Amino acid sequence: MDLLEKCRAYAQADEARDVGLYPFYPAFQGPAEGGQAVLDGAEVCMLGGDDYRALSVNAQVIGAAQDAIALYGTSSAGPRLLNGNLDLHEDLEADLADFFGYEAALIFSTGYMTNIGVVSALAGRGDHVFLDEEAHASLVDGAWLAKASGAAVHQFAHNDPTDLARQLAAVSTASALVATDGMFSVRGDLAPVADLTAVCEEFGAALLVDDAHGVGVFGRGRGVIEQAGMRGRVPLMTLTFSTSLASQGGAVLADAKTIDFLRHTSRPQIFSAGLSPADTAAAHAALREVRRRAEAEPDALSAAEYLRRALDALGYNVAGGGSPVIPMRFPDQLSMLSAQRLLVEHGVYTNAVLPPACDSYQLRIACTDAHTPDVLEAVISVFASLREDLLPRYRQTA
Ligand code: PMP
C-alpha cells in the first residue's frame, strides 16, 4: 500500500456530503456583524464563533490594523529573533503582562503554536506533563513533542484535582507541568483553577492555564485565573488572540526569566516569522477595548444565560451555565448533523462538534456581545418551531 492510499480510501467526508449533511468549512461571505453573517447567500444568526466580545468588527480594532499596515507594511518578514521583531510586538507584550498580572509576555503566531512552543520547550527528559483529559489539541501536541524529547506524559480525569493529586503523588519528582484549558470551548465549563493551584503548590508542580476562551469574558476580562482569585499564583498562562482579542496569534505570560528562556529556546518562536503588523495591532486595540470595558459584565454571558433558559423552557436539555457556550448533545452523528443542517436552513448557524474534538456528538452554541435580545428572540422562535423535529432526536440522549 503506498503512502497516499489512505487518502484515496478516505470516505468519511464524502459520506456526509452525499447525504447533504457536510457541516465543515462553511464559506461565510463577510464577517458576523450584529450577530448575523451571510452563508451561501443567506443571512444566518452566527452562534458558532469565538469572537465573544464582537470586537472583530469594532471600528478601533479595524482602524488599528489598517494603520499598522500603512506604517509597517503587511509582513514582519522573518523570525523576531533575527529581523522580524517590531516595537508593535514589544508594546503589546508589555500591555499583556500588565493587564494579566505577570512579569512578562511572549507573542507567538497562533494560539496553537503558543501551546506547542511552551510545553515542548519547558518539558523534556526527566520531566512529567499532566494534562486534563479534555485539554485542547495544542496542549496535547505540545506534550507529544515533550515526550519525543523524553518527558513522561499523563492525563488526569477532566476537572478532577483529586485525581491529579493522586497521580502527582505517584511520581517521585517535583519537575512536573500541569496543563489545562481555562474554559473548555465545547463543554463550556471552567477549570477548577483554585483547587488545581492548591494541588500544584502542594506538589511543587508548575500549572499552565490555557485561557484561550476565558480572556475577555471572565474575571474583568483577565480570565478564569483572576475570576478564581488566583492572580499571582498560576506561574504560566497562555491565550489566543483569535477569540475575544479579535485577531490572530497567541501569547504566553510568566515570570521574566521563564519568558526570556522561551524567547531563546521555543522552536515555533525562533523558527517562524513574527506576528504580522496588522494582527499585532488588532490584538492590541482589542486588548485596550477589553480593558476599557472591564468593569461591565460581558453581554455574551447574559445572552447565553437568556438563551439557555429559553431553550430549557422549550424542553431542550441544554447543559452548561455561567459561560458564553451552550452545549447540546445528540445520540449519534446523523442526528447531530441533521439538526445542524436544519438549523442552518432556518437561519441559525451552530458548530457541529464530534470526536475527536469531544467525546460525544453535540452542537456548540456560542453567544457574543452582539447577540441582543432581538437577535436572541429570533433564534428562540426558530428553536421553538423546530421542536417537533429536534426534540425526539435530542431526547434519545437522556
Ligand atoms: N487553545 C484553545 C483552548 C483553543 O480553543 C484554541 C483554538 N481556538 C487554541 C488554543 C488555538 O488557538 P489559535 O486558533 O490561535 O491557534
pLDDT on residue 127:
97
Distance CA 44, CA 35 (A): 9
pLDDT on residue 173:
79
DSSP state of 276: P
State which of 107, 110, 112, 187 you would mutate to test the pocket of ligand 1, scoring each by most atoms of that ligand within 8 A of its C-beta.
112
Q: How confident is the prediction for the chain on average, in pLDDT?
A: 95
pLDDT tens-place string over residues 216-226? 999 999 999 99
pLDDT band at 395 (very low <50, low <70, confident <90, very high): low
Q: Do domains 10-52+298-395 and 59-292 have the same CATH topology?
A: no
- Across the beta sheet with 361-366, the strand order is 325-330, 361-366, 351-353
pLDDT tens-place string over residues 47-106? 999 999 999 999 999 999 999 999 999 999 999 999 999 999 999 999 999 999 999 999
| pLDDT > 90 in the chain, percent | 90
Q: Contact at 8 Å (CB) between 186 and 327? A: yes
- pLDDT > 90? residue 360: no
pLDDT tens-place string over residues 372-385? 999 999 999 999 99
* Atom of ligand 1 lying closest to residue 115 CA: 10
Over residues 277-306, the mean pLDDT reads 97
Q: Taking the C-alpha atoms of 94, 95, 98 and 100 in order, what is their torsion angle to the nearest 10 degrees? A: -120
Other Cβ atoms less than 10 A from the Cβ of 271: the count is 10
pLDDT band at 398 (very low <50, low <70, confident <90, very high): very low
Distance CA 181, CA 356 (A): 16
What is the CA(187)–ligand 1 centre distance, in A? Answer: 15
Other Cβ atoms less than 10 A from the Cβ of 384: the count is 13
Three cell numbers, residue 384? 421553538
- Residue 323: what residue type? S
| 3-class DSSP state of 88 | helix
Distance CA 67, CA 59 (A): 12
Distance CA 287, CA 294 (A): 10
As a residue count, the chain comes to: 398
Distance CA 231, CA 225 (A): 6
Instruction: Please report how the helices 277-292 and 59-72 are oriented relative to each other, as an axis angle in degrees rounded to 10.
Output: 150
pLDDT tens-place string over residues 162-212? 999 999 999 977 799 999 999 999 999 999 999 999 999 999 999 999 999
Distance CA 361, CA 334 (A): 9
Question: Which residue in this structure is represented by grid cell 487518502?
Answer: 7
**pTM of the complete model:** 0.97
The residue whose CA is least distant from atom 15 of ligand 1 is 111
Three cell numbers, residue 284? 492590541
Domain definitions of the chain by residue range: 10-52+298-395, 59-292
Q: Taking the C-alpha atoms of 271, 272, 274 and 280 in order, what is their torsion angle to the nearest 10 degrees? A: -140
- Close Cβ partners of 190 (under 8 Å, ≥ 6 residues apart): 182, 183, 184, 214, 218, 224, 227, 322, 323
Q: Residues with beta carbon inside 6 Å of ligand 1?
A: 50, 110-112, 115, 136, 138, 181, 185, 210, 212-213, 240, 242, 250
Write the class of the CATH domain 59-292: alpha beta
What is the CA(136)–ligand 1 centre distance, in A? Answer: 7
Query: Which CATH fold would you assign to the domain 10-52+298-395?
Result: Aspartate Aminotransferase, domain 1 (3.90.1150)
Strand partners of residue 325: 366
Three cell numbers, residue 229? 482569585
What is the CA(208)–ligand 1 centre distance, in A? Answer: 14
Question: Which residue in this structure is represented by grid cell 503582562?
Answer: 97
